[in-house]
């Protein structure tokens, strides 16, 4: 079972393709399993850009639409197309799974064959590409790629290359059947989910410094709360971009609220801090009209001391004001309690004096 989870994670994360700025994509993540498992023998998860929009498996054999902002209603034509495409996909995956198990004498409890297939359209709605690639037990197999002008096929290391006749037939099938179906479905989903996938949320950017145990600092650029996921975040030193191999992080991650985050970090030595370079987080995103820059310059020793003293004085002053206000409130409260009591007692005392005089 651990192998299965590993394969699912590998294909879901490492293989997913991100459409360019303003473009949109539709990807089917198909998995077929041989062996004892609690999962269906074959399943497909359909994703548009970064949200799930559909599901299909070999148990129910019925396409289920998963709307993010719309009801889970299944279009009849779309359901027919999905049943046709995913049915053929399952047959292909199961047949290939049997061949690869025999060829490589696999004796594992579970063997998994997976396929990522999908298409992209440009911002203007024109088709951009179609791709299909397989993996058997975490090892990538063949890749079919078409970018509307060039078709390519690579057999990989697991399978024997296709013959010219087979490649010609496969090219015709993908270009004339699968690509039109994919583009049509993608446009329908875009219309259904446009309020969600076409929204633009501005990133919030922070430049964070964290002390390292061996001395120096880790300087991090953090962009978070943005959508869509495509973002350009660079860390600059004195207005020059820092090389990628010097940075850690760099993977766009979901935040769990429908937005994304990205972190890029650089380790800065004590010597570099003394040189007082200017560090800048520079961000461009679809939601921004202009580039967003956040900068930081390390302080010198004297400036750091002055800053600490200044902050300390401010804290002491605020604390003194707070204590003075509390003391005044207590004094006013005490006065408010005793004064009414004495004023009520005065008429009673006068009355007693008057009675005493009358009696005498």
Query: Which three-class secondary structure state does DSSP give residue 323?
Result: helix
Q: Which stretches of the chain are assigned E, i.e. beta strand?
A: 24-35, 42-48, 51-57, 64-65, 110-121, 127-136, 139-146, 151-154, 204-211, 217-226, 231-237, 240-241, 248-249, 253-254, 260-268, 279-285, 292-296
Q: Which CATH class is domain 2-197?
A: alpha beta
Helix 179-192 vs helix 76-103: crossing angle, to nearest 10: 130
| Confidence grade of residue 311 (pLDDT, cut at 50, 70, 90) | low
Count other C-beta atoms under 10 Å from residue 131's C-beta.
20
- Rounded to two decimals, what is the model's pTM? 0.69
Count other C-beta atoms under 10 Å from residue 58's C-beta.
17
Residue 185 burial (10 A CB sphere; 0-12, 13-18, 19+): buried
Residue 24 burial (10 A CB sphere; 0-12, 13-18, 19+): buried
Q: Report the b/e string of 226-245 with b at 16+ CB within 10 A.
A: bbbbbbebbbbbeeeebeee
* DSSP-derived pairing of the beta strands 64-65 and 248-249: unpaired
Count other C-beta atoms under 10 Å from residue 40's C-beta.
16
Q: Among candidates 62, 74, 73, 66, which has minimal Cα distance to 46?
A: 66
Average pLDDT estimate for 176-189: 94
Q: Homologous superfamily of 204-301 in CATH? A: Immunoglobulins (2.60.40.10)
* Out of 2-16, 151-165, 250-264, least confident range: 2-16
Q: Among candidates 178, 142, 138, 145, which has minimal Cα distance to 12?
A: 138
Cα gap 276→296, rounded to integer Å: 10
Transcribe 143-212 into DSSP letters: EEEE-SS-EEEE-TTTSPPPPHHHHHHHHHHIIIIIHHHHHHHHHHHHHHSHHHHT--BPPEEEEEEEE-
Q: Among candidates 91, 97, 50, 53, which has minimal Cα distance to 71?
A: 53
Kindly report, residue by residue over 233-269, the tens digit of the pLDDT. 999 999 999 999 999 999 999 998 889 999 999 999 9
Top-confidence residue, 60 or 121: 121
pLDDT above 50 for 289 = yes
Cα gap 215→298, rounded to integer Å: 14
DSSP state of 97: H
Q: Which residues pair with 120 in a beta bridge?
A: 25, 129
Domain ranges of the chain: 2-197, 204-301
| Confidence grade of residue 131 (pLDDT, cut at 50, 70, 90) | very high
Cα gap 298→224, rounded to integer Å: 24
Count other C-beta atoms under 10 Å from residue 254's C-beta.
11
Cα gap 260→252, rounded to integer Å: 7
Cα gap 26→37, rounded to integer Å: 28
The half-sphere exposure of 181 on its side-chain side, counting CA atoms within 13 A, is 20
Average pLDDT estimate for 65-69: 74
Kindly report, residue by residue over 325-354, the tens digit of the pLDDT. 888 877 776 665 554 444 445 455 445 444
Rg, the chain, Cα only: 34
């Amino acid at each position: 079972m651990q192998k299965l989870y590993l394969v699912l994670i590998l294909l879901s994360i490492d293989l997913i393709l991100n459409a360019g700025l303003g473009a949109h994509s539709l990807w089917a993540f198909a998995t077929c399993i041989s062996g004892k498992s609690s999962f269906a023998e074959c399943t497909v998860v359909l994703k548009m850009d970064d949200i799930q929009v559909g599901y299909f498996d070999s148990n129910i054999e019925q396409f289920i639409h998963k709307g993010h902002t719309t009801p889970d209603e299944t279009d009849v034509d779309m359901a027919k197309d999905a049943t046709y495409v995913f049915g053929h996909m399952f047959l292909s995956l199961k047949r290939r799974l049997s061949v690869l198990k025999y060829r490589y004498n696999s004796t594992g409890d579970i063997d998994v064959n997976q396929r990522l297939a999908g298409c992209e359209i440009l911002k203007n709605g024109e088709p951009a590409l179609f791709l299909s690639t397989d993996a058997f037990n975490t090892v990538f197999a063949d890749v079919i790629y078409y970018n509307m002008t060039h078709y390519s096929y690579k057999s990989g290391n697991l399978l024997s290359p296709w013959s010219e006749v087979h490649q010609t037939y496969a090219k015709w099938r993908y270009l004339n059947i699968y690509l039109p179906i994919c583009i049509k479905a993608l446009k329908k989903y875009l219309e259904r989910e446009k309020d969600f996938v076409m929204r633009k949320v501005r990133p919030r950017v922070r430049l964070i410094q964290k002390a390292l145990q061996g001395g120096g600092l880790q300087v991090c650029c953090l962009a978070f709360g943005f959508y869509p996921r495509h973002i350009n975040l660079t860390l600059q030193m004195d207005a020059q971009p820092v090389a990628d191999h010097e940075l850690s992080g760099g993977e766009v991650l979901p935040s769990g609220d429908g937005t994304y985050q990205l972190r890029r970090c650089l380790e800065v030595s004590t010597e570099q801090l003394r040189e007082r370079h200017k560090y800048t987080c520079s961000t461009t995103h679809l939601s921004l009209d202009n580039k967003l820059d956040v900068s930081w310059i390390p302080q010198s020793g004297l400036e750091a001391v002055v800053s600490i003293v200044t902050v300390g004085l401010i804290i002491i002053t605020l604390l003194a004001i707070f204590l003075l206000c509390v003391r005044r409130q207590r004094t006013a409260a005490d006065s408010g309690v005793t004064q009414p009591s004495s004023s009520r007692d005065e008429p009673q005392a006068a009355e007693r004096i008057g009675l005493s005089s009358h009696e005498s």
